A and B are shown apart, each in its own frame.
Chain A
């Protein structure tokens, strides 16, 4: 992220909400741990996509993000749209499939279940209630890749995910371009409520 972008972000003390910039600001985040096997897939995707996405006005890319909870709020404050690239592990999931959902799909997890910190949705909602400029939940787009191995320290992805990576980048690139091209209207933009999964 550029220092100018960082300086322009609304900080946690930014109450009341500062006026929004003329150009909507989008933050693309690669979430994960680069030395924990497939857990780093979000980072690999962000690195690949950062080089392919146009230098769109207001777009900032944080290729490696390992923070969560309230720390994530610090990172996101000041942006109007958030795109998160992350891993996910579901029952009977197939490595390389990927899901896309918006912030509302995480709403039901907004309970006290995170053992360390406020969870993602709670942190975002807290920011909103504090008057911080935080993306509306319909402007939070999560691209989560089904992974195989995320408990063993290793700098490489599993072979299955490594093979799937180019296709994942292509598919997500299209989706993200569409998001960047869509006129931004905050929470009023129509969104699919379902969680979508792309399976190859």
Chain B
């Protein structure tokens, strides 16, 4: 028979992130380590399975960006079958992905970024959330946020048949096309989403740009890194979220690399540190040079801002206007101001909404040639897309029976592990000076750095209540002098 007792599990959660800060004899930061639980074994889990099953399986890797994994996986599987994909399927996949981008960026901007800027980074943590934002800017904006997210998700459902745990992409194309009546259902929602992107940009101008304090945090806070940038671009060097070439540009604007997805292993390698399971990708041809900033660094960011930094222009006119306004305001292109990521997301939303409009007007979009039946197994495929959180690579091999023999994934957040590590240390060094006592404020200052990258760590801590418990320990001479916890 069960025995019932009372506890409070919320304050006892395991699986938390840990930040260990080591001080020297003077009380200055000597070292800083950020450690996080990581999901294990996916690459081994998929070996032995039919390769065409992988696009359906990978949506389970992460509940946050399932569509990104679905797309990258589909492209890798296409490659395993010779790489031929119906042109209409590519358009439909892109269209779906445009909607997914808007859906994800709305959630990030309004639920995560806005509280710091609408309410201020010093606001009481109890109100520093989307509810606080709504309370301050008005219920109608909250309603618009929810409605817009819902429309973006509904567009995905109409195009792909479902909005989560996608099963739509299949080798050579997609499982269903877009009917004319479905297109007409989508069209007004796309128009609304475009208007919402313009509304969001204006909100950003009114609330963030009009506040000198916030601008000062963005421009003069510890949230800068002199590292390089990575992102997919099209033939005109405009951001391409679904395909294109990977471009790497240094923080001064010089192109370092430009390569096809199939060549990724020649340009990116992963460094291992003994104190964490997380790997640290770096620019392979420069070699691992440690967690160092500077023009010779081999560290790069793959983020919304990085995508705009590697781009010479946007692909659509209103996005181009937003791009020019942003970089003119933050001191030029490229930018090293990490908190400008939030603005970059809004610019990306505009391009995605405008691209959706173009597809709605494409006379071929409701065609029925949305799949090419694969005729041969060629055994290897590499798919790269821009996940919202960074460049996402899936690399598979299979045998002659199309059974998976190996898989290698470099997920969006992994690209940014080193920069996150570095900015964490930078924030700690800024906050903890000899003679000053660290306080609870360090948590939010560090989390502001996390939020800029929108890292995917929470998929490692899925269990209730769906947040990442975090502990910050400050050590001096081997002893813990301060400890700050949240949710653990």
- Is A17 in the interface zone, CB < 8 Å from B? no
Report the minimum CB–CB distance from B9 to chain A (whole Å). Answer: 5
User: Contact between B462 and A32 (Cβ–Cβ < 8 Å)?
Assistant: yes
Q: Which of A33, A64, A70 contacts B149 (CB 8 A)?
A: A70
Pairwise interchain contact A70-B146, C-beta atoms closer than 8 A: yes
Q: Which of B66, B454, B466 is close to A120, meaning CB atoms less than 8 Å apart?
A: B466
Q: Which residues of A contact B13 (CB under 8 A)?
A: 88-91
B463 and A153 within 8 A (CB): no
B126 within 8 A of A: yes
A26 at the A/B interface (Cβ < 8 Å)? no
Which residues of the other chain, A, contact B463 by a CB distance below 8 angstroms?
Answer: 39, 86-89, 144, 147, 150
Residues of B within 8 A of A114 (CB): 111-112, 458, 466-468
Q: Which of chain B's residues have a CB closer than 8 A to the CB of A70?
A: 107, 111, 146, 149
What's the minimum C-beta distance from A182 to chain B, rounded to whole angstroms? Answer: 18
Q: Which residues of A contact B147 (CB under 8 A)?
A: 12-13
User: A153 and B40: CB pair below 8 A?
Assistant: yes
Question: Residue B271 at the A interface, CB < 8 A?
Answer: no
Q: Does A151 contact B (CB under 8 A)?
A: yes
Contact among B9, B44, B149 with A99 in the assembled complex (CB-CB below 8 Å): B9
Partner of B14, one of A90, A110, A200: A90
Residues of B within 8 A of A11 (CB): 150
Tell whether, in the assembled complex, residue A115 and residue B458 are in contact, meaning their CB atoms are under 8 Å apart: yes
CB contacts under 8 Å to B, within A88-108, are 88-91, 93, 99, 101, 105-106, 108
On chain B, the residues within 8 Å of A32 by CB distance are 462
Contacts of B66 in A (CB 8 A): 66
> A142 interface residue, CB < 8 Å from B?
yes
CB-based contact A154/B12 at 8 Å? no
For window 430-468 of chain B, which residues contact chain A by CB distance below 8 Å? 444, 447, 450-451, 454-458, 460, 462-468
CA distance A111 to B108 in the complex (A): 15
A110 touches B131 (CB 8 A): yes
Inter-chain CA distance A159–B165, complex, in Å, is 27
User: Is A191 part of the binding interface, using a Cβ–Cβ cutoff of 8 Å?
Assistant: no
Residue in chain A with minimal CB distance to B115: A112
B46 CB, min distance to chain A CBs, angstroms: 8
B397 to chain A, nearest CB (A): 19
Known: A33-B60, A125-B131. A69 touches B10 (CB 8 A): no
Known: A112-B129, A194-B6, A195-B9. A36 touches B60 (CB 8 A): yes
Using CB atoms, name the residue of chain A closest to B123. Answer: A112
How many B residues touch A, CB cutoff 8 Å? 70
- List of A residues within 8 angstroms of B164 by Cβ: 66-67, 71
- Take A89-B463, A130-B142, A153-B42 as given contacts and tell me if A110 and B129 are in contact as well, using a CB distance cutoff of 8 Å: yes
Query: Known contacts A115-B451, A130-B146: does B45 contact A68 (CB below 8 Å)?
Result: no
Report B13-44 CB contacts with A as 1/0, cut-off 8 Å.
11100000000000000000000011111101
Q: Is the CB of A200 within 8 A of B2?
A: yes
Of the candidates B38, B125, B143, which one forms a contact with A130 in the assembled complex, judged by CB atoms under 8 Å apart?
B143
Give the residue of A39, A105, A171 whose beta carbon is less than 8 angstroms from that of B462: A39
Interface residue ranges of A52-79 to B (CB < 8 Å): 64, 66-71, 73-74
Interface residues, chain B, with chain A CB atoms under 8 Å away: 2-10, 12-15, 37-42, 44-45, 57, 60, 63-64, 66, 107-108, 111-112, 115-116, 125-126, 128-131, 134, 139, 142-143, 146-147, 149-150, 153, 164-165, 444, 447, 450-451, 454-458, 460, 462-468, 470, 486-488
Q: A70-B146, A110-B131, A150-B462 are in contact. List 13 more A-B contacts (CB 8 A).
A: A12-B149, A13-B143, A66-B60, A70-B149, A111-B486, A113-B467, A125-B131, A129-B131, A144-B9, A153-B39, A153-B45, A197-B7, A199-B2
Task: Spell out A's residues near B (CB within 8 Å).
Answer: 11-13, 15, 31-36, 39, 64, 66-71, 73-74, 86-91, 93, 99, 101, 105-106, 108-122, 125-127, 129-130, 132, 142, 144, 147, 150-154, 171, 194-200
A-B contact list, 28 entries, CB within 8 Å = A35-B60, A36-B60, A68-B466, A87-B464, A90-B9, A99-B7, A106-B10, A109-B465, A110-B131, A111-B129, A113-B468, A113-B487, A115-B467, A116-B454, A117-B64, A125-B131, A126-B130, A126-B131, A130-B142, A130-B143, A132-B146, A144-B464, A150-B15, A151-B40, A153-B39, A153-B44, A154-B41, A171-B2
